[in-house]
Amino acid sequence: MSLDTFKLDGQTALVSGVATGLGQAIAEGLAAAGADIVGVYHTTPPDHARQAVEATGRRFVALQGDLGQPATMAALVERALGDVSRIDILVNNAGIIRRAELLEFTETDWDDVIDVNLKSLFLLSQSVARHMVERGEGGKIINIASLLSYQGGIRVPSYTASKHGVLGLTRLMANELAPKGINVNAIAPGYIATANTQALRDDQTRNAQILERIPAGRWGVPDDLKGAAIFLASTAARYLHGSTLTVDGGWLAR
């Protein structure tokens, strides 16, 4: 196997939640491997992602959309295809989190998280998969799962439920789409320094507890996901279907 196997030249990746954190890093990594990027964002324009992608010589198309409105996912894909001729790779990265004690958790916080993290992921994948099937050249769908796809956690009931759902949907979609030449896999990040984990890092006690369990001895950074994303998007992963790569510094091994 040559290094060319990992190249993404001539391909286009749609990455949700591209403005910051994991989405920005993944977009940068895929662009460095040769892919053009359609970056979906909600409110803050993804200027840093655009600069990083265009610095690689690849094209960046910013696409505003609210993943909290799942019914708009098909229209979002249509808009994307109005700017680019094809979508070869979909990265379902966008996600939100709400923290509160189980007995105090609100229905609104439940619905908001499930709509973005799970329902929109399914509908966006469905729309992109239809495009891939119609084009007849296969494709790659990469979902962003979590350590809480495997564990229960505390104070994040809707997030835990959504990420368990992502793991199950990854397997379901792989079962149905593998015969159509579409690889569906996931990445489960560990504790990564992003806006979603700021509250944990600010809590000295909780931060110390987390670091004590991570064999690598540090929080991850968004760049740590680039290699896994490039691999799953490339032909090197052509026989991978329904798998979840855990990028966690060894957390689950402890």
Active-site annotation, residues: 159
Using the 8-state DSSP alphabet, how is residue 192 labeled? B
Q: How far apart are CA 37 and CA 139, in angstroms?
A: 15
In 68-208, beta strands by DSSP E: 89-92, 139-144, 182-189
Q: What is the dihedral of CA 37, 76, 244, 58, to 10 degrees?
A: 0
- Cα-Cα-Cα-Cα dihedral sign, residues 245, 250, 253, 254: negative
**Residue in 180, 192, 83, 115 with CA at minimum distance from that of residue 141:** 180
Cα 191 from Cα 189, distance rounded (Å): 7
DSSP 8-state assignment for residue 167: H
Angstrom distances, CA of residue 74 to CA of 69, 80, 94: 11, 10, 16
Give whole-number Cα distances, 17 to 183, 237, 240, in Å: 21, 23, 24
Helix axes of 157-177 and 120-135: crossing angle, nearest 10 degrees: 20
210-213 contacts at long range (C-beta below 8 A, 24 or more positions apart): 213/251, 213/254
